[in-house]
Amino acid sequence: MRNPGSKKGAVVGSGGQKSKGLQGKGPTPKASERPNHPAYKRANAAAKAEQVRAQRRKAAENGPETVAGRNPVVECLRAGIPATALYVALGIDADDRVAEAVQLAATRGISVLEVQRGELDRITGGAMHQGLGLQVPPYEYAEPRELLKIANQSGTPPLLVALDGVTDPRNLGAVVRSAAAFGAHGIVLPQRRSAGITAVAWRTSAGTAARMPIAVATNLTRQLKEWAEAGLMIIGLDADGDVDVDGLDLATGPLVVVVGSEGRGLSRLVKETCDQTVSIPMAAGVESLNASVAAGVVLAEVARRRRLEIRG
């Protein structure tokens, strides 16, 4: 009889496998990391698609935009918004809006181009264009330091507006319009988490963005501190303000009005930078005003107090 201890091959406790065979090859890679696995192919395709989308977003930021639709196009042309071309789809039913758009474009020397409907679909990104599209060039932003220079040369106490995370271009356009109406010298936007001057903002501003200097700050908090060091007082709109708008005694001096985002209001760091926060008295049971309306209310009060100051 053979000695079990001398038996070759099987090893006690090994299940008949050699000890070397028990050594693993390391942890199994995730499915998305294995080249031949469907999950890897899906992840790779998704990454490429995101890269393409990022390239398109960058191109859209640096290139012209197109306002689509008969009413929006006519409104932009009436407001004098800068434009480089008016696209008209071949064979559309021309109504009064189409006729007015063509006439306004021709009067301002804007190229009127007839294109196939499929081409206009492509130009407008598939938007509901109704046969009309207006090409708007990229907005040219100022530098933040230019805003203070413009304000100091105005002959009136500087009045600047800062937007802290306003992401709706319609709200941005409305703030631009209010700022122009009530004598502000410029607007600053943060580089991140903010709407920019797009076709929608152009239209909402009713053309005032063409004459209101707008700058982008890399760091809004730092920019506000620089203006504070230059002698401007920083006030922020806040539902729980230190004072209400009736007590806004800082209105007649060099001032920066900071408007918070739709929903969350002022960010913590920006709020800490403010010399004073201001609330707007409202009737009980009414929801808070949106960013653009609140900005208009406070800017109107600033303008009123400044008129009274001038009158003596």
- Closest residue by Cα to residue 170 from 193, 199, 201: 201
Coil, strand or helix at 23: coil
Residue 53 has pLDDT above 50, yes or no: no
Q: Say what the pLDDT of residue 32 is.
A: 63
Q: Which residue has the higher pLDDT, 7 or 170?
A: 170
CA separation for the pair 89, 53 (Å, rounded): 27
CA separation for the pair 135, 116 (Å, rounded): 16
CA separation for the pair 158, 143 (Å, rounded): 16
What phi, psi does 136 have (nearest 5°)? -115, 130
- Angle, helix 144-152 to helix 220-229, in steps of 10 degrees: 30
Describe the strand order of the beta sheet including 111-115 as a list of residue ranges: 65-68, 132-136, 85-89, 111-115
CA separation for the pair 51, 62 (Å, rounded): 17
Q: Which region among 7-11, 50-54, 117-121, 300-304 has the lowest average model confidence (pLDDT)?
A: 50-54
Q: Which residue has the higher pLDDT, 136 or 101?
A: 101
User: What average pLDDT score do residues 116-140 get?
Assistant: 89
**For residue 229, what pLDDT band results from cuts at 50, 70 and 90?**
very high
Q: Residue 171 corresponds to which tokens in the numbers above?
A: 């709200």
Q: Say what the pLDDT of residue 79 is.
A: 78
Domains within the chain, CATH numbers bracketed: 65-136 (3.30.1330.30), 144-311 (3.40.1280.10)
β-sheet bridge partners, residue 144: none
Describe the strand order of the beta sheet including 186-190 as a list of residue ranges: 214-217, 186-190, 159-164, 255-260, 233-237, 276-279, 243-244
10 Å CB burial of residue 289 (0-12, 13-18, 19+) is middle
Q: Say what the pLDDT of residue 18 is.
A: 52
Most confident by average pLDDT, 13-22, 38-47, 197-206: 197-206
Contacts of residue 37, defined as CB under 8 A and 6 or more positions apart, other chains included, come to 31
State the residue for tokens 């790779």. Answer: 44
β-sheet bridge partners, residue 175: none
User: What average pLDDT score do residues 242-246 get?
Assistant: 92
DSSP alpha helix (H) spans, the chain: 38-62, 70-79, 96-107, 117-123, 144-152, 169-181, 199-204, 220-229, 268-273, 291-311
